[in-house]
A = this chain, B = another copy of it.
Amino acid sequence: MTSHPTSPRQLRLGLFVQPLGHHVGGWRATGDLGSPTDIAWLTRIARKAEDAKFDLFFVGDALATSVHRLPSTMARLEPLTLLAALAVSTRHIGLAATASTTFSDPFTLARAFSSLDHISQGRVAWNVVTSYSTEVARNFSREDMPDHAARYARAREFLEVAFKLWNGWRDGAVVADRASGRYFDDDKIQPINHRGEHFSVQGPLNISRSPQGRPVIIEAGSSADGQALAAQTAEVVFTASATLEEGQAFYRSQKQAVAAAGRDPRAVLILPGVMPIVGRSREEARETWRQLNTLVDIDNGLDQLSARFGMDLRAFPLDGPVPPVPGGEGNQSRIRLLTDLAARDGLTLRELAAVAAGSRGHRVVVGSAEDIADDFQQWLEAGAADGFNVMPAIVPEQLDLFIELVIPELQRRGLFRTSYPFATLRENLGLPSAT
């Protein structure tokens, strides 16, 4: 670990970037509207994040326009080209790109991430996803997605091949001796000759070993398949735990799975996503949150809520109470987050629809810098998180407030770094080097 012995364990913070904000109404609430395809805009965000000492600039992805109705998921820069451009405009921050194993090849992605790791001088992470929507399948000559188990089986072998490719070039393979005319040490460049169920790949890669050896591997997903794959291969796990208790349960279960896979549980960092709504006072934060939720399309919110609850909520009065939800399919923790919230705050169906549409089911923490730091500290100390993937609702305003108010509060408490001690992302995260 990179913290010095007398300081408490420190949080790792990713910035989950939506260039127009994570809240559906965020782009309407900002006084400084950027464009999600403007590299200058993205560069400003990345430099802010680096000045604030975030661990990661994290970009999500989907291989289709999105039904979330976030403008920046309908039209966005492709993550690998985006991060390559940001790599030369930043020096320290980690750069995490989402890429799917279902619609690419191991040679292609292993090579691209190695290239990015060279370009960024060792600051790249790969958020491994398997894709899920029919819309994506139909952009890749399929009628529908492979089922969950098939996607994970492919992802597992995909990663196996990628790791072999990254290890096919050893340190010292480049000799570059002009006198003898020997540029490479051929013994340190090995084909992989992989033959598996999904892939046959000869190798080696056509790129030398990168500064980190391979990108930091990030995975998400709370399914059994997802947890099992993460236990074997992930170094950062991005989750969507809704409550502290759920966060603790996930944290415990994932770390146990890592240990059962023969790895040090400290070598896998668990970062739940969170949308902080920051104010200079608790009241200001609540007013921001209230205002944001007036900028939401209620019909869209009802659709999202209906899909999530597995029942048609249009049959219920909008200004009445939230109806009870039957058990069954769906993401139970996301459902409980919403129903608990409605019960606690006495929300009407209309109000809950606005919240659901606005935050898209992510955990929201509304308050002053102290409130948010308290929440983060509680999750860290209660064994529910090693840090967070922070999702600013309004960009730049909520990002700026988080940086101005919350980061210094975390630093005062000794919970967050004040400089980047190392050159590579993996070192700055306190993770073991790739071998």
Interface, chain A (partner B; CB < 8 A): 27-28, 33, 35, 37-39, 43, 62-66, 71, 73-78, 80-85, 87-89, 103-105, 107-108, 111-112, 114-116, 118-119, 135, 138-142, 169, 174, 176, 178, 181, 183-184, 189, 198-208, 210, 295, 297
Contact = CB atoms under 8 A, between A and B. Distances in A.
Contacts of A35: 174, 176
B141 A82 contact: no
5 contacts: A35-B176, A39-B88, A63-B107, A65-B205, A80-B84
A107 to B, nearest CB: 4
A62 B84 CA distance: 20
A37 B207 contact: yes
A105 B176 contact: no
A103 B108 CA distance: 9
Nearest to A88: B85
Contacts of A115: 37, 77-78, 81-82
Nearest to A296: B181
Given A74-B189, A75-B184, 4 more contacts: A39-B88, A77-B207, A81-B81, A85-B119
A116 B84 CA distance: 10
Contacts of A140: 105, 107, 201
A135 B83 CA distance: 29
A260 to B, nearest CB: 32
A297 B181 contact: yes
Given A103-B105, A103-B108, A183-B27, A206 B84 contact: no
Contacts of A65: 189, 204-206
B39 A178 contact: no
Contacts of A205: 65
Contact of A88 (B64, B88, B184, B201): B88
Nearest to A193: B138
A85 B82 contact: no
A119 B75 CA distance: 14
A402 to B, nearest CB: 22
Nearest to A61: B206
A176 B80 CA distance: 26
A318 to B, nearest CB: 19
Given A82-B119, A85-B87, A208 B37 contact: yes
Contact of A118 (B28, B39, B83, B184): B39
A182 to B, nearest CB: 10
Contact of A206 (B66, B176, B200): B66
Contacts of A201: 138-141
A313 to B, nearest CB: 21
Given A62-B206, A141-B201, A200-B141, A27 B104 contact: no
A85 B114 CA distance: 14
Contact of A178 (B27, B104, B181): B27
Given A103-B108, A206-B62, A207-B37, A118 B77 contact: yes
Contact of A33 (B85, B88, B178): B178
A68 B189 CA distance: 16
Nearest to A135: B202
A-B pairs, top 9 by smallest CB distance, nearest first, are A84-B84, A78-B115, A138-B202, A81-B84, A71-B183, A75-B208, A107-B139, A81-B115, A141-B200
